[in-house]
Structure 1
Amino acid sequence: MTHNETLGIIDIGSNSIRLVIYEMDHDGAYRIIHEDKYAARLSNVVEQDGTILRHSLDKAITILRQFKATCEAYHTKLIRAAATAAIRNAGNALEIIRWLETETGLQVERVSGDQEAYYGFLGVTQSIDLADGFVVDIGGGSTEITVFRDRKRLHSISLPIGAVNSYARYGREDQWSEANATALCNEVIEALSEQEWIRQHPGLPLIGLGGTMRTLAKVEQKRTQYSLPVTHHYEISGEAMENIALSLPHLTSAQRKKVPGLAKDRADIIVPGVLILRTVFRMIQGDRYVVSGAGLRDGLLRDLMAEGQPVVPDALKDSIRNFIHFGPPIPENRLHRVHQDTITIYTALQGSTPDPADARILYASSMLHMAGKQINYFRYPQHSAYWIMNASIYGLSHRETILSAIAADYHPKKRTPQLLHKHRDILKDSDERHAHRLGSLLRVAEAISRSERIVAIQAAKENDSLFQMQFICAGEPLLELSSLEEAVKDLQEAWGVKLSHSIQQASKE
C-alpha cells in the first residue's frame, strides 16, 4: 500500500497563528486532516517605535514549537511557515524572523503585502466559481484588496490597517464613539484615495476572507435563522451589512459578547473589522458580500502544488476530484457515466442543454450521490445528502448545494419534501418542481448504470407528452430494467411525460 504525503502550512498572522495539515496523494488531490489555531495577537505587542521585543514572542515561539511537533507526529514532508503583517511591518522584521527560526527550527517566510493579496486571491479562485470580484482579506495588522476579472488578478493593494491594530488605535473605550469610528473609516478612505482602480469596477461582489467575515456571516445567519449552518459561499446583502456596521459599535463589550454568532474573543476586534469592510464596500460600490472559507493558507498550498499554473480553472471539479480520490472505492468511470446520462436525458426533456447552475447541480449530484458510503453503506443516499450540505463543496452556491443534496437523496414522498420545507429560506419558489425534475433524472441515470450492460443511451421527446429512450446494450440488462420500474414513475410524474424504451444490441465490431 502506498502512503500519501502530508504537508503542513503555518500562518503566522497578526491576530492568530494557524496550522493546517493536508494529506496529498500522488495525483495531487488533497484534504485537510488537522487544523489548529492560537490567538497570539502579535499586533498588540508592537512597541511605539514599531519593533517587537524578544520576550514578547515567547507565546508565539511556544505555539510554533507545538505546531512543529504536531506536524512531526503526522510525518509531514514539508512545513511551510509564513509571517504576515505584524512581523513584516515591524522595524526589526529580519531580527524577528531570525529569532523564530533559531528558537523553533522552522524556516519562516516573510510574506510581502502583495504576496499576501496574491495568496488570498488563489484561495478564493480555487474555492468559489466567480469570474469577477473584489477579494478583501481583513487580518489583524493589514487589509489586502484585490480586483480580478475572468479569474485573472488585475490589481492588489495591502493597507497596514487591520482589526487588531485599529482597535489599539481607536477602540480602547468600552463603546466606540462616533468620532473614532469616523476616524478609522477616513483612514481607510485616505489610504485608497489614490488607487483609481478601486472605483473602476462597480457592481462586483466583495468576497471576504478571514475571521471578521466569517464572524459577521455567523451573526447574520443567527439573526435570520438561516437553515444551512455553512459560512463558505454565504451571501450577505449590502443593506444587512450596513445594519450590522451601524449597531455593533454602539454596544458595550459585554453586550457584544452576547450577540448570537459572535465569539467572545472577537467581541473587541469585530467593530474595526466591520467598519473597514463596510468602508471598502462603499468605495468599490459592491453589489453584495460573499464569504470565502478559503484564503491565505489555501493559496500557499496552491502555490506549492501548481507553480506556474496556480489558478484553478474549475473550482467545483477540483473540489469533487479531491473527494473522489479520498472517498469510498467507487469506479470513477461509473460516476462520469451517470453524469453523462443525466445530461443526455435533461437535454432531451428540456429541449436545451443545462444552464450553468443546473450544469453544476447535475455534475455535483451525479459525482457525489454515493459519497455517503464513506460513512456507512446502508442508507448511503441520506448520508450523501448530509455530506454534500455540510462539506462546503467549492464552486456551489448554497441554493445549488441544497438542490444537489436533494437530487443525490431523491425520495419524492418523504425526504425530498422535508428538505424542501427545511430550506425554503434558501430556495426559490420554483425550486420545488425543479428539485423533483432533477432528482428524478438522477434516479433514472443511476438505474441505467447498475452494471455495464447498457453501454449507451439515446433519448428524444416526440411530443409534449411522449418521451422515448433507446438503450444500446452489450447483453440483457436485467438489473437495469428492474431498477427502472420505480425510477420511471418518478420521472414521468415530475416531467409530465410518458416514457417508453427500446433495446438495441450493441455492434460486436
Structure 2
Amino acid sequence: MKISVIDLGYNSLKLVNYDVRIDNTFSAYSQHSILARLGEGLDKTGFLNDDSIIRTVKALKLLQQTVKFESSAQVLPVATSAVREAGNKDQFLALVSGETGFDFKVLSDREEALYSFAGSYTATNVPAGIFFDLGGGTLEMVIAEKSRVRRVFSTPLGGLRLTDLYATDNGRFTKKNYAKMSDRILELLPDRKELPQLGKLELVGAGGTVRAIARYHQMIIDYPLDKLHNYLMDINSVELIHRTLRKMSPKQIGNIPVIGEDRAKSIVAGSLVIQLMMRKLKIPQLVVSTHGLRDGVLSAFLKDPRAYEKGSVDSILPRLTSDKPVSLSATSSRIIKAFAARDLLDPQEQFILVQALEEAQKLPLYDPETLFYIIANSDSVLTHSEHLLLALSLVRIRGLRGADWLYAKYKDMLEKDAKNTIKRISSMITLIEILEKTGSDLQVTLSAHQIRLRISSGKQDFPTALFKNTLKDFENAFKLEAQFSLTPISSQKPAPEILSSEKS
C-alpha cells in the first residue's frame, strides 16, 4: 500500500511517498521538497503574507498531481509552526482545502516534537538523549531515556525565523546583529541544570539544516560512504562549518551543491543554533538522523488512526517507541545467548549479529560486491562503523573475493580488531544458517581452549562436509579448537536444549 505524508513547514514543503507493508513496516521510495517559505515575515506581522500563500498554494497543487500520479491510498497532510502561529490560519486552511483538496492537520508544538522524536528514536540506537528537530520556524527538543519522555521544549529558534529577524536585506549578518542573535539563542536554549539528571546524554538531530551541514562535512573530508543517517559530527566540526559558512554570501553558499539555493538563506543561523546548543549543553558529538517528523506521523497513523486524528499523541507514543521485537527463531536466540554467556561474543558483536541475521532474511540476490554497497549505504540503527562490519560479514559468507580489498578501503573507519570481529560474526551467521535450514539443534560445551558442539540433526540431511569447513573458519575466528558430534534423526531423543557450562 502507498501512503503519502505532506509536511508544510515554516520554510519548506515536503512530500514523502511510502511503501507500507502488510506488517505496517514501511520505507520511503520518493521525496519531493519545495522552498515555499510560508513563514517569511510572520514574526513582523503575525500573519501569512499574500506572496507566501500564493507560493504555497501553487506548490501544493503540484504535489496534488504528484500524489494522484503515484495512486497513493492515503494522504496525511500536516502543518507545523507557520500555520499554527498565523492570525489568518483558518482562512489559509480553507483556501488550501478548496484549491487542492488537502485538509491539513495542524500539529501542536508538543505533537510536532513527539512525532519527530518517535521517528528519530526508532531509527537510532540511543538509550538516553536529547532529540531535536530544527526547522525553519522552531526548535523542538525532547529529552528521553529508554523511550520514556522526560521533558519537551519548543522554542522559536528556527533558521529562517532568525534570519528574518537579524539578517540584513542581502541575507548577511552585521557583527552587532550576529551578537544579538547569539545572545537570543543562548537565552532561549535550556540550561543543562534544567534537564533531567540522566547521566550521559547523546544529542540526536533532525531537520534540513542538520542534514545540510552533515553533507557539507562529508564533502569536505571526502567521506567514503554515501549516507547521512547515524552520521557523527563533533563540536569542532560543527563550529568549523559554521565559521566557514558565515564568511560566505547566500549566493556563495547556494553554489555549494550539497547545500543549494533553497537552504542558503537560513543555514548560517541554523548552524549557529546547533553549535550553541552543543556548547551550552556540554555535549561534544551530534548524531544525525534522517528520520523524524514524517516517519513519526505515519507510524502514529498506522498504529491507531483514530487516536492520531484526535491528536492523542501521548497515548500513541509508548506504542511507537517500544522496543521492536527481534524476529529471530528460538534456536538462533539460544545459540547467541549460549555464546554470549561464555564470553565468546561481546555486546557489540551480539547486537551486530542479531541485526545481520535479520537483514540476511531479506537480502536480494545480487553479486556480493553490489550487495555490499547496497547494505553499507542503507539506513540502519547501527553506527556507520558497525554497519560496515555487518556488510563485510554478510558478503564474506557470500564468497566475495574482494572482501579483503573492501576491508582495506574502509579500515580507517574500523577498529583495529575489526577483521577478527568480521570473522566471528560471519562464522556465527553460517553456523546458525546451517542449523536453521536443516532444522537442527545444538548443545555447547566450552573448556579452556576447546569448544564442543553436539548437534541433533533435523529432518533435512545434514551437510557434514560444509559444516566441517565452517568449523575451520570458526576455529580461526575464535582461536579455539572446535569439535562436533552429530546425532542422526533416527537415533534422537527429543531435541535437547543448549546447556550452560562453566569455564574450566
Partner of 1:129: 125
Where 2:411 maps in the other structure, the secondary structure is coil
User: C-alpha deviations, 1:283-338, integer Å up to 9, x for none?
Assistant: 222231110111111111122122434344566x57x87xxxxxxxxxxxxx6378
Once the two structures are superposed, the pairs formed by residues 357-372 of structure 1 within 5 Å of their partners are: 357-372=348-363
Q: Which AA in structure 2 matches 1:468?
A: R
CA contact (8 A) 2:117 2:132 kept: no
User: C-alpha deviations, 1:104-128, integer Å up to 9, x for none?
Assistant: 1111111121221111111112111
Deviates more, 1:251-260 or 1:163-172: 251-260
TM-score (norm 2): 0.86
Partner of 1:409: 395
1:159 aligns with 2:155: yes
The share of aligned pairs that are identical, in percent, is 23
Unmatched runs of 5 consecutive residues or more in structure 1? 322-334
2:358 and 2:118 map into 1 onto residues whose CA distance is 25
Q: CA deviation at 1:383?
A: 4.4
1:473 aligns with 2:448: no
Alignment size in residue pairs: 479
Partner of 1:347: 340
User: C-alpha deviations, 1:390-415, integer Å up to 9, x for none?
Assistant: 2202x211121111111111168843
User: C-alpha deviations, 1:342-383, integer Å up to 9, x for none?
Assistant: 6167437xx23744422220011112225432xxx353x444
Q: Which AA in structure 2 matches 1:290?
A: V
1:112 and 1:211 map into 2 onto residues whose CA distance is 20
Equivalent of 1:310 in 296, 299, 317: 317
Q: CA deviation at 1:163?
A: 1.0
Where 1:76 maps in the other structure, the secondary structure is coil
Where 1:44 maps in the other structure, the secondary structure is coil
The alignment's C-alpha RMSD in Å is 2.8
Once the two structures are superposed, the pairs formed by residues 17-166 of structure 1 within 5 Å of their partners are: 17-44=13-40, 46=42, 48-54=44-50, 56-166=52-162
Q: Which AA in structure 1 matches 2:333?
A: Q
User: C-alpha deviations, 1:36-81, integer Å up to 9, x for none?
Assistant: 2211111225484221244532231122233233333344333211
2:98 and 2:3 map into 1 onto residues whose CA distance is 21
Unmatched runs of 5 consecutive residues or more in structure 2? 305-314, 495-504
Q: CA deviation at 1:438?
A: 1.6
Once the two structures are superposed, the pairs formed by residues 248-259 of structure 1 within 5 Å of their partners are: 248-259=245-256
CA contact (8 A) 1:54 1:99 kept: no
Once the two structures are superposed, the pairs formed by residues 420-499 of structure 1 within 5 Å of their partners are: 420-452=407-439, 454=440, 456-464=441-449, 466-475=450-459, 477-478=461-462, 480-499=463-482
1:483 and 1:270 map into 2 onto residues whose CA distance is 56
Q: Which AA in structure 1 matches 2:384?
A: H
Q: Which AA in structure 1 matches 2:232?
A: E
Once the two structures are superposed, the pairs formed by residues 177-216 of structure 1 within 5 Å of their partners are: 177-192=174-189, 197-198=194-195, 203-216=200-213
Partner of 2:501: none
Q: Are residues 410 and 191 of structure 1, via their aligned partners in 2, closer, same or farther at CA, if it must alter by over 3 Å? A: same
CA contact (8 A) 2:15 2:63 kept: yes
Q: Are residues 178 and 420 of structure 1, via their aligned partners in 2, closer, same or farther at CA, if it must alter by over 3 Å? A: farther
CA contact (8 A) 2:43 2:161 kept: no
Q: CA deviation at 1:432?
A: 2.1
1:300 and 1:503 map into 2 onto residues whose CA distance is 52
Partner of 2:312: none
2:221 and 2:58 map into 1 onto residues whose CA distance is 41
Equivalent of 1:502 in 485, 488, 492: 485
Once the two structures are superposed, the pairs formed by residues 190-339 of structure 1 within 5 Å of their partners are: 190-192=187-189, 197-198=194-195, 203-259=200-256, 261-307=258-304, 308-311=315-318, 312-313=320-321, 317=324, 336=329, 339=332
Where 2:152 maps in the other structure, the secondary structure is strand
CA contact (8 A) 2:335 2:442 kept: no
Q: Which AA in structure 2 matches 1:279?
A: L
Q: Which AA in structure 2 matches 1:432?
A: K
Q: Are residues 194 and 69 of structure 1, via their aligned partners in 2, closer, same or farther at CA, if it must alter by over 3 Å? A: same
Where 1:410 maps in the other structure, the secondary structure is helix
Where 1:266 maps in the other structure, the secondary structure is helix
